[in-house]
Chains A and B, each alone.
Chain A
């Protein structure tokens, strides 16, 4: 008799387990399209507790890959924008430099011709406008990068708080949904700041930025503060934890923020510096020729471009000499004392096109080409990185899906299996119950 009661108990437990299975399968199907959801299975049969299928190593890889992809994509987007600014809107700077020297060559055939002289001055004015436009595009790129860094830092701070809250929820409930939410937030944080999330023995997730600064420590979240750096004019980033502040500007090397920092501090800084150097070199070398020659009035010593004292800021400060702009007769196309029909100055200016007068031992045209070429090469590499990181992310998504993704057909099969098992157990209990009844009645 006692065995029959045991069997009833077994039947009851089994029915409970099958019902848990039904509930879990139903929950899996309900979350088939929920981002970051990890499939659940019946764990402890007796209690019916669900087990979340996931792999910590794989989860970490996915977070890292998400950070890399976000960084590549943001870096490629920023470079594409800068590239458009450098080559968009008409002739490129190298073409404008060539045009200036070409017009000087043209004027060498008619140095007293006002039309030819005006064309040289117009080409100089166009070159200045072109260099200034590129300088403005580079400055705008820097400004945009700083704005994005600030916006993303604020978003990262909000996500850090969410991650701390998710840690608290995990500590409290250990529910799979809370764990999923925590992984999802960690992934989003990785997309913004790179770094790494690790789950320690206490079950709490800690989020550590590149360089070691801790952004989230269990249920405590620090702030990623973006503030203007008075020395550089750029936005700097600090991890603020109570009274402690740690500058992480140069440490963050991943995510969207890492991309913008790299873009701003490497590509934009390089383009800006080279553009200034080019403007300085053009001004210096052309002025050297221009001052050595004379205008139609026979006077020498006048510059074509307003002289600039230093390389820094030369691109935005560059200007055609106002007196020359007002009167092209001042254009120095003749050697001093040689007469207005002499074209020594025009020929000297034309020959600058092929002289290695730019810093670095190249021509001015090559120097201008190098600026765009560097941006273009970086942009092309970044596009390749996006493709590579996309493939890695996609592959990892496949691995995750293989392990933890919900397959509706599989879940429906499980549902049917659990339903049938539950029905069978019901019949089993009914049978045992009948046997018990018969036994009791026969006593």
Chain B
């Protein structure tokens, strides 16, 4: 095949341009850290990365729901703990008040103290989240679930939130766990004890003592259920953290540059460019005398 001088120059020019383009491509990849900047760079890798990003976004939604639920369970558990403490204190005061050594005045004093504790328990039972939701109200969570007499007006619903693979159930505790449905009506019981002490109503007071014991157990059971839910949420979070790390690594693997490989490619491309330039220079000098 006959090759003209112009053709030689064209070929060497094309070779130099190609080598220069390779250097530019690899340099851009190294500086940006990205191998896939547009989907068409590697459609399969881009698609895999996008699918992972979608899963990551959904996982983040799950994570936020789990974190919120965990925070609220903590607040709820603290409230139940306070209520439990208060019930224990009231139980102690009720036992004291039931003693024959106490007279009506002594009991009236204890009654006032128990009433104050009842109000504190009521505050705890009507605990609200950051957004103002009443945490023990079940689904009726926009109004205070316990009224001034301690009567529960919420429902028994408990919430489920998305987990890693399925729903995580029971991430809220309903105030119904403090009602007769689960033992005794705890809050009215406290009010009744305060009234009995104030009124020196010994039969009522004595009748309330076993109920107070039941109430303590009832609260403890509610807290243990909450603890189990918190444990489940913590496990979900731990698994999700690992999953998200894996997904981040996968996205990086699909779309980012392997720096060692890229550095090697850059060296090769640079060498190729130098050779192309040298060849072009040689061709031009060879052709120069005749042109």
Binding site for B on A (CB under 8 A): 32-33, 79-80, 83-84, 87, 92, 94-95, 97-99, 101-110, 112-116, 296, 334, 338-343, 347, 350, 353, 365, 369, 372-373, 375-377, 379-380, 383, 394, 397-399, 401-403, 405-410, 412
Contacts and interface: CB of A to CB of B under 8 A. Distances in A.
Interface in B101-140: 129-133, 137-140
Interface string B32-64: 000000111111001100110110011011101
A250 B261 CA distance: 47
Contact of B141 (A112, A114, A377, A412): A112
A153 to B, nearest CB: 28
Given A105-B62, A369-B51, A398 B7 contact: yes
A128 B167 CA distance: 28
B290 interface: yes
Interface of A is mostly: helix
Contacts of B60: 102
Contacts of B31: none
Nearest to A102: B61
A406 to B, nearest CB: 6
B68 interface: yes
Given A109-B68, A402-B1, A94 B131 contact: no
Interface string B60-75: 1110111011001000
B287 interface: yes
Contact of A83 (B6, B39, B68, B160): B39
A7 B86 CA distance: 140
Nearest to B60: A102
Given A402-B1, A408-B5, A341 B290 contact: no
B166 to A, nearest CB: 10
Interface in B240-264: none
B4 A405 contact: yes
B222 to A, nearest CB: 18
B246 to A, nearest CB: 17
B201 interface: no
18 contacts: A80-B38, A87-B39, A99-B57, A108-B162, A109-B64, A109-B72, A110-B68, A110-B133, A113-B129, A114-B131, A339-B138, A341-B138, A341-B142, A342-B139, A350-B162, A376-B46, A394-B14, A401-B4
A409 B290 contact: yes
Interface of B: 1-7, 10, 14, 38-43, 46-47, 50-51, 53-54, 57-58, 60-62, 64-66, 68-69, 72, 129-133, 137-142, 155, 157, 159-162, 167, 171, 287, 290-291
A373 B39 contact: yes
Nearest to B140: A339
B81 to A, nearest CB: 22
Contacts of B51: 369
Contacts of A104: 61
B141 A339 contact: yes
A407 B4 contact: yes
Given A105-B62, A112-B131, A412 B47 contact: no
A419 B35 CA distance: 61
Contacts of B133: 110, 112-113, 341
User: B1, B167, B290 — which one has the most chain A CB atoms within 10 A of its CB?
Assistant: B290
A407 B5 contact: yes
Given A99-B57, A377-B43, A343 B142 contact: no
B142 A32 contact: no
B6 A32 contact: yes
Contacts of A338: 139, 157
A268 B282 CA distance: 48
A376 B39 contact: yes
Contacts of A101: 58, 61
A339 B176 CA distance: 15
User: A108, A334, A340 — which one has the most chain B CB atoms within 10 A of its CB?
Assistant: A108
B290 A94 contact: no
A108 B131 CA distance: 14
Given A98-B57, A341-B157, A394-B14, A109 B171 contact: yes
Contacts of B140: 339-341
Nearest to B290: A409
Nearest to A369: B50
B152 to A, nearest CB: 14
Nearest to B65: A109
Contacts of A340: 139-142
Given A83-B38, A380-B41, A409-B290, 9 more contacts: A104-B61, A108-B159, A110-B72, A373-B43, A376-B46, A380-B40, A380-B42, A407-B4, A407-B6
A219 to B, nearest CB: 33
Given A339-B141, A341-B137, A405 B6 contact: yes
B2 A402 contact: yes
Contact of B58 (A92, A105, A113, A412): A105
Given A108-B161, A115-B131, A406 B138 contact: no
User: A32, A98, A397 — which one has the most chain B CB atoms within 10 A of its CB?
Assistant: A98
